[in-house]
Chains A and B, each alone.
Chain A
């Protein structure tokens, strides 16, 4: 910011400095001049002294001495003005060492007086200016500044005695200086210069020191004065002006001029006058502002009112226009988008009804190019309606013979077939609109509904099913005929919800009402059973009911509809079944006990057999052997053979009993299923078999890694039988190849035992697993025929199945599965 202080004080300061510099410079120059003048006066005075001395010597002393000593004699110490003058000044110079006073010449008699080049220049000046007699000038002598005054001395006539012809000169002079130096001068010629030079330096130095002192004093004074001015200015002007400015700024910033406070007035100078003026101005401004605001408000209100009226008018007009436009738009879009076909006709003559326009929906009825039909008569538009009442109605309406008409008609041509709801009405004089609504679907639906209702009636009648509907809001209940029959009521009786509820069995009514309420609140269909007391005969009937809810668009349930079945017959049947079931269960329990008893008997039988049946056999065998041994000599060969037969049969009997017991044990044994290593089991059995038949060439191929769940003890018996059989039936082969593994039969895993033995005819396959069933001769392959029965029993106990495939002499494969259910 450039303050007034800056703008005012800066130039002021600059001017003050410049002025003081100017004054100083003037003072300096003046004092310099005074000093120079002083020095010049000194020089002039010295010059005058010099000249006076010389004049005195030349005019007074020289002639006096000359007279005394004679014409021939010359004593310079007294007679030479130069000498005397110089000597005098040499004495003066002792007091003023810087001062120079001397006489010089370009051709001096005494070499001491030889002119310096500076002096030669002055001599030359005087030669060229014969009028000039003296000259004052600053010169440099030995680097020192001097103010010098030069006075020229020209040769006069009386000078010529000593400076003319040497013959004229005193002999002493010639004797002292020679006959050349200082002789042969002309009258008027510049003889030399009297020079007085006073050094400037001493004066200058003194003056300079004084000047710098004064300068400093003046500078300080100026600085002090300037500072004082700044402070005073700041206090008196700047600060108050700033205060005022801030005040005005604040006022300007305030939106409400009325809140303004007057400026503070302390003194009574110009600024205060200004402040007072400001305050007055603001006061007036405030008053003006207030009145202006008032006026603005009034005008604004006026304008707003006017504007409001105008806006209202515009809005009304726009609304009217918009309403008109929307109305037009609405009607046009109704016509355009209406699914109803619209035709517009004009009556051109009494009978000629001409098409003037259609909407898109009309295309479906009168073809894709309705415009081509515009201008054609109604007969051309609907050729199939020619000469029908329909067209006549249109004409009559157009003529005004008939009011608006509404009817349904079927229409059929090559493009369409359907039912239409037709509305014909006048839209002006001789102009009509004909609207065709396609009601084909409705007609079909009506037809379907009729058929459906008929079928439903048949079905409900056949099913002895009553249909009911409950209007939740009015509590009215509608029943079909069968409901009345079911409840034993006269059909004339009006039905309500409470009337229905009171016929429900007392024990069921709470439950039924709860179900109905839930159907309404949860909007969920329900099925429930209850009993009723039939009104006509008081009998209890069992009813099965279904309820389904109907909700309005808000989701509020308005109706509950449902059916009732009389399930009394079924209930009785169910009761019968339950009774029978109970009896059956009892019988099963009885039978189970009987079975358990039988099982126990079987067990004790087997136990008996095991203990008691073998003892006599052992006796027969033992005593037969005893006979053979003890009476060997007394028995002939035949007797011995008979006894051997007895023993063989006895032992076979023993084997049979053992096998049967095994079978029985397998049947009775408790199942203990566990994970089994079938591969390990088979390998173990194979090893035993190899040991039992050391002379047989047996090749076992056992698939590794077979494992399953089952009773290992039983499984060992089964596998021992199967693998043992394989060994047995391969006895006629040089090398028996016996495989045990797992394969897939019809996508299900099955274990198998395969051999390359005798095989069998598949015709006997069914007999394989029966007890005591054998399909090989005992002489060929011995055995009891119980082994496979035992195997089958074990597999069955595991929930599995066993079967075999074989061909005679081509080997046999026995397949089995475990736990078919899994």
Chain B
């Protein structure tokens, strides 16, 4: 239980961004286990036990999902929609972490019930600061949602 609650699921197709995110999380001294999936489809497989993640105990949900928007196959908004549509995952804290702050994206994300929308700045120092604040907030300050129990 405590193991999964420590998990952060990073959905990001750009390996450079994955590495930089990992670096920033490390520097922010966030001790959580970071699970990285490279696109939307894999994220859904991970969450609902499909594809290469078939057989995974789907009751073990991550504490936080960092979700990129623009991805091959299934994009971030679709992933978000599916998470919110599923009764087991609908309370999961999901944070959009993306390069774009196009209004249409921000509006759509919030319409689908995202918990937060963070833009990845070009300046790594700013990105770094954002990650620090994010960790402090979601793992320190924020009260995690109660788990949805299956009958």
Report B140 CB to chain A, min CB distance, Å.
25
**A626 CA / B103 CA spacing, docked (Å):** 31
Q: Are B70 and A622 in contact (CB under 8 A)?
A: no
Contact with A along B43-54 (1 / 0, CB 8 A): 000000000000
B111 within 8 A of A: no
Measured between beta carbons, the chain A residues less than 8 angstroms from B98 are 611
Contact with A along B1-39 (1 / 0, CB 8 A): 000000000000010110010010000000000000000
Q: Are A618 and B20 in contact (CB under 8 A)?
A: yes
Q: Are B123 and A623 in contact (CB under 8 A)?
A: no
Q: With contacts A611-B69, A615-B17 known, is A665 near B103, CB below 8 A?
A: yes
Residue on B nearest A648 in the bound complex, by CB: B123
**A650 CA / B100 CA spacing, docked (Å):** 17
Contact with A along B108-122 (1 / 0, CB 8 A): 000000000000111
Q: Are A651 and B70 in contact (CB under 8 A)?
A: no
Measured between beta carbons, the chain A residues less than 8 angstroms from B125 are 625
B99 within 8 A of A: yes
Q: Are A618 and B124 in contact (CB under 8 A)?
A: yes
Chain A count of residues within 8 A CB distance of the other chain: 23
Q: Are A653 and B99 in contact (CB under 8 A)?
A: no
Q: Are A619 and B20 in contact (CB under 8 A)?
A: yes
Q: Are B122 and A610 in contact (CB under 8 A)?
A: no
Contact with A along B72-100 (1 / 0, CB 8 A): 00000000000000000000000000111
Q: With contacts A610-B99, A623-B16 known, is A618 near B122, CB below 8 A?
A: yes
**A615 CA / B103 CA spacing, docked (Å):** 18
Measured between beta carbons, the chain B residues less than 8 angstroms from A617 are 122
**A625 CA / B102 CA spacing, docked (Å):** 27
B101 within 8 A of A: yes
Residue on A nearest B102 in the bound complex, by CB: A610
Measured between beta carbons, the chain B residues less than 8 angstroms from A322 are none
Q: Are A622 and B69 in contact (CB under 8 A)?
A: no
Q: Are B103 and A654 in contact (CB under 8 A)?
A: no
Complex partner residue of A626 from B23, B101, B102, CB under 8 angstroms: B23
Q: Are A654 and B122 in contact (CB under 8 A)?
A: yes
**A612 CA / B100 CA spacing, docked (Å):** 9
**A651 CA / B127 CA spacing, docked (Å):** 12
Q: Are B101 and A651 in contact (CB under 8 A)?
A: no
Q: Are A618 and B121 in contact (CB under 8 A)?
A: yes
Q: Are B16 and A619 in contact (CB under 8 A)?
A: yes
Q: Are B123 and A615 in contact (CB under 8 A)?
A: no
**A647 CA / B124 CA spacing, docked (Å):** 9
Among A580-624, those with CB < 8 Å from B are: 606-607, 610-612, 614-619, 621-623
Q: Are B123 and A651 in contact (CB under 8 A)?
A: yes
Measured between beta carbons, the chain B residues less than 8 angstroms from A650 are 122
Report B129 CB to chain A, min CB distance, Å.
13
Measured between beta carbons, the chain B residues less than 8 angstroms from A606 are 102
Report B120 CB to chain A, min CB distance, Å.
6
**A31 CA / B2 CA spacing, docked (Å):** 180
Residue on B nearest A613 in the bound complex, by CB: B99
Q: Are B101 and A615 in contact (CB under 8 A)?
A: no
Contact with B along A650-667 (1 / 0, CB 8 A): 110110000001000100
Residue on A nearest B70 in the bound complex, by CB: A611
Measured between beta carbons, the chain B residues less than 8 angstroms from A611 are 69-70, 98-100
Residue on A nearest B125 in the bound complex, by CB: A625
Residue on B nearest A618 in the bound complex, by CB: B122
Measured between beta carbons, the chain B residues less than 8 angstroms from A614 are 99-100, 120, 122
Complex partner residue of B70 from A612, A618, A626, CB under 8 angstroms: A612
**A661 CA / B119 CA spacing, docked (Å):** 15
Contact with B along A684-724 (1 / 0, CB 8 A): 00000000000000000000000000000000000000000
Residue on B nearest A713 in the bound complex, by CB: B103
Q: Are A618 and B100 in contact (CB under 8 A)?
A: no
Measured between beta carbons, the chain A residues less than 8 angstroms from B16 are 615-616, 618-619, 622-623
Among A497-522, those with CB < 8 Å from B are: none
Q: Are B100 and A607 in contact (CB under 8 A)?
A: yes
**A606 CA / B99 CA spacing, docked (Å):** 12
Report B106 CB to chain A, min CB distance, Å.
11
**A650 CA / B17 CA spacing, docked (Å):** 16
Residue on A nearest B15 in the bound complex, by CB: A619
Q: With contacts A611-B70, A618-B17, A622-B16 known, is A653 near B103, CB below 8 A?
A: no
Q: With contacts A611-B70, A650-B122 known, is A622 near B102, CB below 8 A?
A: no
**A614 CA / B16 CA spacing, docked (Å):** 12
Complex partner residue of A610 from B14, B23, B100, B127, CB under 8 angstroms: B100
Report A462 CB to chain B, min CB distance, Å.
66
Q: Are B70 and A625 in contact (CB under 8 A)?
A: no
Report A558 CB to chain B, min CB distance, Å.
78
Q: Are B99 and A619 in contact (CB under 8 A)?
A: no
**A653 CA / B70 CA spacing, docked (Å):** 21
**A541 CA / B45 CA spacing, docked (Å):** 80
Report A446 CB to chain B, min CB distance, Å.
85
Measured between beta carbons, the chain A residues less than 8 angstroms from B120 are 614-615, 618
Q: Are B123 and A621 in contact (CB under 8 A)?
A: yes
**A270 CA / B98 CA spacing, docked (Å):** 156
Report B119 CB to chain A, min CB distance, Å.
9
**A612 CA / B17 CA spacing, docked (Å):** 12
Report B20 CB to chain A, min CB distance, Å.
4
Complex partner residue of A653 from B23, B100, B102, B122, CB under 8 angstroms: B122
**A618 CA / B102 CA spacing, docked (Å):** 17
**A363 CA / B102 CA spacing, docked (Å):** 101
Q: Are A621 and B122 in contact (CB under 8 A)?
A: yes
Residue on B nearest A616 in the bound complex, by CB: B16
Q: Which residues of A contact B (CB under 8 A)?
A: 606-607, 610-612, 614-619, 621-623, 625-626, 647, 650-651, 653-654, 661, 665
Q: List 25 A-B contacts (CB under 8 A).
A: A607-B100, A611-B100, A612-B70, A614-B99, A614-B120, A614-B122, A615-B17, A615-B120, A616-B16, A618-B16, A618-B99, A618-B121, A618-B127, A619-B17, A621-B123, A621-B124, A622-B124, A623-B20, A625-B125, A653-B122, A654-B121, A654-B122, A654-B123, A661-B102, A665-B102
Give me the 3 closest cross-chain CB pairs, A-B, nearest first.
A654-B122, A622-B124, A619-B16
For the complex with contacts A616-B16, A622-B127, A626-B23, 17 further pairs of A-B residues with Cβ separation under 8 Å are A607-B102, A611-B98, A611-B100, A612-B99, A614-B122, A618-B99, A618-B120, A618-B124, A618-B127, A619-B14, A619-B17, A621-B123, A623-B20, A625-B124, A625-B125, A626-B124, A665-B103
